[in-house]
Amino acid sequence: MRGRDEETGEFLSPSRSQNRREALETLALGEKLVSLTEAQLAKLPVPEALLPHIRDCKRITAHVAHKRQLAFLAKQMRREDDAAMDALRDALDENGETARREIAAMHRIETWRERLLDNGDAALAELLDEHPGADRQRLRQLVRNTLEERKRNKPPHAFRELYRELRTVLAGPGDAGDDDDGEFADDSQD
């Protein structure tokens, strides 16, 4: 029984309705996880203990058995750490913090790309001031190729390549260091 604290009058545990809502939310999260591909699952912070249960649920196709396995998956998920489940929900949530950061980074890259195309060397100098490890020659060449593509109404290959290059430059020192080695290899081939 739930009971109340004699001193404060507050309830000692959540109500049955609250417990049921939380269980249904966990079941819905389990359904989402089962609907994802292996590649999508690999990108998420899914606890290792849940992966076999998710795979079993995907494998079972009979309706009642699938539903039973999904309920078992939800039960296993409720046993997991709250922080792990919150991180998983955030990663799946389109409006989550992770998604917001990724979208903000994408907009920042697109803004820089447009600035480079519109302002040329002035924007490039500003970018290089902020990110001195960037390859000036490569960026200048990609900007020139993108402008040429636009002029000739060609498919946006260089436009996309400029985006990828800016993504590695703006990613920061941890990620950019790995990509710089690949850039030097590309420069030696030219």
pLDDT in tens, 144-167: 999 999 999 988 899 999 999 999
- pTM value surpassing 0.75: no
Domain endpoint, select from 45, 76, 93: 93
Domain endpoint, select from 47, 65, 93: 93
Residues 83 and 102 in one domain: no
Residues 185 and 105 in one domain: yes
- Residue 46, domain CATH: 1.10.60.30
In this structure, what DSSP letter does residue 11 have?
Answer: B
Please report the pLDDT score of residue 173 as a whole number: 57
DSSP for 105-165, please give it.
HHHHHHHHHHHHHHHTHHHHHHHHHH-TTS-HHHHHHHHHHHHHHHHHT--SHHHHHHHHH
Structure-token pair, residue 30: 């389990």
Residues 80 and 113 in one domain: no
- The residues, ordered by sequence, that sit 6+ positions from 13 with a Cβ below 8 Å of its Cβ are 2, 3
When divided into structural domains, the chain yields a total of 2
Residues 113 and 178 in one domain: yes
Least confident window among 67-81, 99-113, 176-190: 176-190
Residues 125 and 173 in one domain: yes
Domain ranges, residue 40: 16-93
The CB-based long-range contact list for 102-108 (8 Å cut-off, 24+ gap) reads 105/167, 105/170, 108/170
